[in-house]
Structure 1
Amino acid sequence: MTSPQPTPTHPTPTHPTAALSTAARSAATLSAAERRELVLRAAVREGLLDRDDALLAAFVDLDGVAASVTALHRAFPAEVDVLHAFAAKANCLVPVLARLRELGMGCEVASPGELAQALAAGFEADRIVLDSPAKTRRELAQALELGVAVNIDNWQELDRVDELLRAGESRSRIGVRVNPQVGAGTIGAMSTATATSKFGIPLADDGNAERLLAAFRERPWLTWIHVHVGSQGCPLDLMAEGVGQAVAFAEKLNGELGRRQVVGIDIGGGLPVNFADERTDPTFSAYVERLRAHAPALFGGDYRVVTEFGRSLLAKNGFTAAYVEYAKESGGRRIAVTHAGAQVATRTVFMPDSWPLRITAHHPSGAAKDGPTVPQDVAGPCCFAGDLLAKARPLPPLESGDLVALLDTGSYYATTHFSYNSLPEPAVHGFTVADDGGVRFELLRPAQSIDQLLRPVR
């Protein structure tokens, strides 16, 4: 069962940061670094970061989230009937999902917990899409009863849906996930359209195209095709090629059936994120251009469209901040031991080459540290040697009491907590910045206490 979600607090206003020379300027003119420093200073001043009580916290830029959602909506032409469903896995906090709903998003979920969170955030059932390769009968029955859209992953799941629909009708729009088998990007774990992927029904495997044609012919309620090629590490043309194959297959199905039975294409999400610098690259508009080239029928007005973007909407709209507890030296290498490690940056710690993070150094006040840099390791608190966020990273020398900021962590990271060493979940705060430089915070998830860690065993 899911745990009760925190209720967001009312935003608390703060005073403009007088010490920052940029504070008098319009917030729209601030660079990303200046905006981040403004927020860090305010967080320290208000005790959201504190050497005793708040050693680690995450921050989500709510203004930036709204701008990213706007960019996504504008990228798709108005004549296309499209539902942009946020991939809940990227940031499953109910207040974040509720904010996305208010911005016109739907929600894509892949577990009973995510479905419960989407419903708690107020999404209507017909704006929720259920994707998972391991849906149970109970999950399927619930989704069909509520009217949640379902993308069927495999032949056995199709049999289960048959059984459930024989027992009663459903308002759900139901589709089949196909695997176009177009290959992998640079990160195998993020590539879902390889020849042997665990996801979907592989189109090129012997007999599958014919079997799918028969399945659609026998089931008029199968009206959607779903495809998802991958995410980080996948080039746009590879993703668009996979969508193109799915659209071509939908066209073939409709032609063979002699009717427009397939009325919608769920193209998944997966737009890669640039973790190297502040630029948003690639953009949603650039992806739409590649979709036009590989899948022009998607834009002809014959199909409804669903997207499932997640990381690309939130990653660059957040950061995680942690105190340096100790600064030491070993073998001639400086090491800063911080309170952010594998528990909030799991992928970076275990796959550093695929998931490198930019890190900035700050004084205890939140002000950016500048001056000469030296190579130093940035380590986390977990009790294993590999708990490193960066190795030999050139940074101004970090000292005990300083802060580090892990950039581009608005999705996954702190909101997908890894409970190594029973380290508690940190607080997550949303923020907005007013034109006068004032920062307003909104609690999205309170920090987990040690008492809360112990409750299940009491």
Structure 2
Amino acid sequence: MSEMQVFEGSASGTGGALNGRLSKGVPSLPREPDNSAVVFDVDALRAAFAAAKQAFPPHWNHCVAVKSCPLSVVVQEAVRAGLGIEAASFVELYMGLALGCPAVLAAFDSPAKTDGELEMALARGVLINANSLVELDRIDAIIKRQGCATSARVGIRLNPLVGAGSIAELSVSTSTSKFAVPMTPANVQAVVDSFRKWPWLVALHTHVGSQGYSVEQLAEGIAVLCEIADVIDSKLGKGRVTLLDIGGGLPANYDSDEVSPTFHEYAAALKKAAPSLFHNTERIVVTEFGRAFVAKVAMTVSKVEYVRSSDGSGAEGRAAGKATQQEEDPSNVVGSPGKVPESSLPVEDHQTLVTHIGADLFLRTSYCPGRYSHRLSMYSRNGAALGGSAIRTDVAGPLCFQGDYVARGASLPRASPGDLVVVHDTGANTLSLFSRHCSRRFPSVYGYARNADGTVCVRLVKEKESVQDVARFWGAC
């Protein structure tokens, strides 16, 4: 196997659709250059997987949370590294297994599993984490209906009730959460009784929260899981709980290039709060990292299509003339950005960059800018970092509503049409949140890695959607 084999294959699905026809009598559409693209550093992705494995003991199995970035290249690289997949939907489970993940390393965590999905998951032998006690009743009925023992491992998701983090939308350990069984005294007893009743129930699961939680808060919730596992073992016999799925949630740093917190820092916090995770090697420990794996391994690049001045005249765009006629390969974009501060520049010295990325990719950033933001940097069409004095800049997207902004009030160099804006740390929860509003096309995705001789190999890993692809999605052809 060559070093690049995992992701160097051609993109599948669209083929030559860009030159196809929408319907009979419609002329062929010419191939357009990429106006935006997402670029993955595959070496950095591999390094993130390796860092997790190095930070924790051998009886820990790590899964990549598919919802953070469902690209096949991410799943394939995870499988190649010996990791599993965590699926928040049946489609994610299907895709992970189809891309080579062994069933024993796959976890199915959807909070809305249907009977049909449970039947298929039980048949495949994956780890099923039930979201409620009622779901356990459903699983029992299915097993009885099938009339045979299952090879699947079943767990129950517990809510440790440690409270919210700094982002309410990502806080799932509150008393009103839609996830898991809240760990009140009565529910603890109900969980113990469930383990007493059903021998196929062997695991406990929790996911304390995501971005907005400190490693100490995450560790506090996981310590509750360990305590309940010990209670079950003390009542029903040592080894009754054979697996602890401690979820993911490790946050990412969006303020600089630094990877923080690290997996080693998280391991240290867990050793302090829940040492049995490391000492009891007879219990398998499963993790479900998403953002911590993929957030910092990608950037998103867009051409600046128009520049609007402070009076809305767009004078810069008219002066630039032919600047919009040529595209650059996004793999040529290099450089190390600085943090983008809230601008204090006067509004009179202001530009709005109209780009090809907005709320279609950066849904959370556009709708909740105070809680989700990214660093930005600017380059010329040739890949050279733009210089000059910074001015107050809004980076607008292509969608037809006023809230469609990647950033407001950023301090960026004066730009011209054809320049490139780069959004950093976009590997997680961008492509997977892609919106169909205004029927925009899913962008091209590239991956690059360094060969043994030091050269860089760039490959297209997902082709940009065609007009026909989007029309077909809406049933138009």
Q: Same fold (TM over 0.5)?
A: yes
Structure 2 Cα separation of the partners of residues 258 and 324 of structure 1: 64
Residue 204 of structure 2 aligns with an amino acid whose one-letter code is I
Residue 40 of structure 1 corresponds to which residue in structure 2? Answer: none
- The CA deviation at 1:414 is 2.7
- The CA deviation at 1:52 is 4.6
- The CA deviation at 1:302 is 3.5
State whether structure 2 residue 235 is matched by structure 1 residue 256: yes
- SS where residue 434 of structure 2 aligns? coil
Residue 319 of structure 2 corresponds to which residue in structure 1? Answer: none
State whether structure 2 residue 230 is matched by structure 1 residue 213: no
Structure 1 Cα separation of the partners of residues 34 and 10 of structure 2: 19
State whether structure 2 residue 86 is matched by structure 1 residue 108: yes
Structure 1 contact 322–404 (Cα < 8 Å) conserved: yes
Structure 2 Cα separation of the partners of residues 218 and 193 of structure 1: 27
Residue 237 of structure 1 aligns with an amino acid whose one-letter code is E
Structure 1 Cα separation of the partners of residues 133 and 73 of structure 2: 36
Structure 2 contact 10–461 (Cα < 8 Å) conserved: no
**Alignment equivalent of 2:385, drawn from 343, 368, 371:** 368
Structure 2 Cα separation of the partners of residues 360 and 435 of structure 1: 30
Structure 1 contact 11–440 (Cα < 8 Å) conserved: no
Residue 145 of structure 1 corresponds to which residue in structure 2? Answer: 123
**Alignment equivalent of 1:127, drawn from 105, 108, 117:** 105
- SS where residue 469 of structure 2 aligns? helix
- The CA deviation at 1:435 is 7.1
Matches within 5 A, 1:232-271: 232-271=211-250
Structure 2 Cα separation of the partners of residues 292 and 348 of structure 1: 34
Structure 1 Cα separation of the partners of residues 476 and 197 of structure 2: 51
Residue 27 of structure 2 corresponds to which residue in structure 1? Answer: none
State whether structure 2 residue 272 is matched by structure 1 residue 290: no
- The CA deviation at 1:93 is 1.4
Q: Aligned in 2, Cα 1:436/1:402: closer, same or farther, shift over 3 Å?
A: farther
Q: Aligned in 2, Cα 1:435/1:358: closer, same or farther, shift over 3 Å?
A: farther
Give percent identity, aligned residues only.
37
**Alignment equivalent of 1:337, drawn from 332, 354, 366:** 354
Residue 76 of structure 2 corresponds to which residue in structure 1? Answer: 98
Structure 1 Cα separation of the partners of residues 143 and 10 of structure 2: 46
Structure 1 Cα separation of the partners of residues 64 and 81 of structure 2: 11
- The CA deviation at 1:443 is 2.1
- The CA deviation at 1:9 is 4.7
Structure 1 Cα separation of the partners of residues 393 and 76 of structure 2: 40
- SS where residue 244 of structure 1 aligns? helix
Residue 216 of structure 1 aligns with an amino acid whose one-letter code is F
Structure 1: unaligned runs, 5 residues or longer: 1-6, 13-50
Q: Describe the superposition over 1:69-88 as per-residue Cα deviations: whole angstroms up to 9, x where unpaired.
A: 1111111034xx11101100
Residue 170 of structure 1 corresponds to which residue in structure 2? Answer: 150
Residue 280 of structure 1 corresponds to which residue in structure 2? Answer: 259
Residue 71 of structure 1 aligns with an amino acid whose one-letter code is A
Instruction: Please provide the CA RMSD for this pair.
Output: 1.7
Residue 407 of structure 1 aligns with an amino acid whose one-letter code is H
Residue 51 of structure 2 aligns with an amino acid whose one-letter code is A
Structure 2 contact 108–129 (Cα < 8 Å) conserved: yes
**Alignment equivalent of 1:307, drawn from 287, 292, 297:** 287
Structure 1 Cα separation of the partners of residues 380 and 302 of structure 2: 11
Q: Describe the superposition over 1:261-314 as per-residue Cα deviations: whole angstroms up to 9, x where unpaired.
A: 101110001100000010000001101101011101111123110000011101
Structure 2 Cα separation of the partners of residues 303 and 371 of structure 1: 58
Residue 241 of structure 2 aligns with an amino acid whose one-letter code is V
State whether structure 2 residue 428 is matched by structure 1 residue 408: no
Residue 231 of structure 1 corresponds to which residue in structure 2? Answer: 210
- The CA deviation at 1:374 is 1.0
Structure 1 Cα separation of the partners of residues 224 and 288 of structure 2: 18
Structure 1 Cα separation of the partners of residues 295 and 432 of structure 2: 11
Structure 1 contact 130–151 (Cα < 8 Å) conserved: yes
Residue 221 of structure 1 aligns with an amino acid whose one-letter code is W
Residue 161 of structure 1 aligns with an amino acid whose one-letter code is I
Structure 1 contact 95–121 (Cα < 8 Å) conserved: no
- The CA deviation at 1:117 is 1.2
**Alignment equivalent of 1:421, drawn from 425, 428, 438:** 438
Structure 1 Cα separation of the partners of residues 460 and 8 of structure 2: 6
- SS where residue 457 of structure 1 aligns? coil
Residue 26 of structure 1 corresponds to which residue in structure 2? Answer: none
Residue 211 of structure 2 aligns with an amino acid whose one-letter code is Q
State whether structure 2 residue 62 is matched by structure 1 residue 84: yes
Structure 2 contact 400–438 (Cα < 8 Å) conserved: yes
Structure 1 Cα separation of the partners of residues 151 and 57 of structure 2: 28
- SS where residue 207 of structure 1 aligns? helix
Structure 1 contact 381–387 (Cα < 8 Å) conserved: yes
Residue 341 of structure 2 corresponds to which residue in structure 1? Answer: none
- The CA deviation at 1:174 is 0.9
- SS where residue 289 of structure 2 aligns? coil
Paired residue total: 411
Structure 2 Cα separation of the partners of residues 130 and 153 of structure 1: 10
Structure 2 contact 441–467 (Cα < 8 Å) conserved: yes
Structure 1 Cα separation of the partners of residues 106 and 383 of structure 2: 40
Q: Describe the superposition over 1:223-251 as per-residue Cα deviations: whole angstroms up to 9, x where unpaired.
A: 11001101100011110000000000000
Residue 443 of structure 1 corresponds to which residue in structure 2? Answer: 460
State whether structure 2 residue 363 is matched by structure 1 residue 383: no
Q: Describe the superposition over 1:201-224 as per-residue Cα deviations: whole angstroms up to 9, x where unpaired.
A: 0012x5111111111101121111
Residue 355 of structure 1 corresponds to which residue in structure 2? Answer: 372
Structure 2: unaligned runs, 5 residues or longer: 1-5, 12-30, 312-347
Q: Describe the superposition over 1:331-375 as per-residue Cα deviations: whole angstroms up to 9, x where unpaired.
A: 533111111101111111111111111011010112211232111
Structure 1 contact 82–306 (Cα < 8 Å) conserved: yes
Residue 123 of structure 2 aligns with an amino acid whose one-letter code is E
State whether structure 2 residue 221 is matched by structure 1 residue 202: no
Structure 2 Cα separation of the partners of residues 438 and 404 of structure 1: 25
> Which structure has the higher relative contact order (CA within 8 Å, separation 6+)?
1
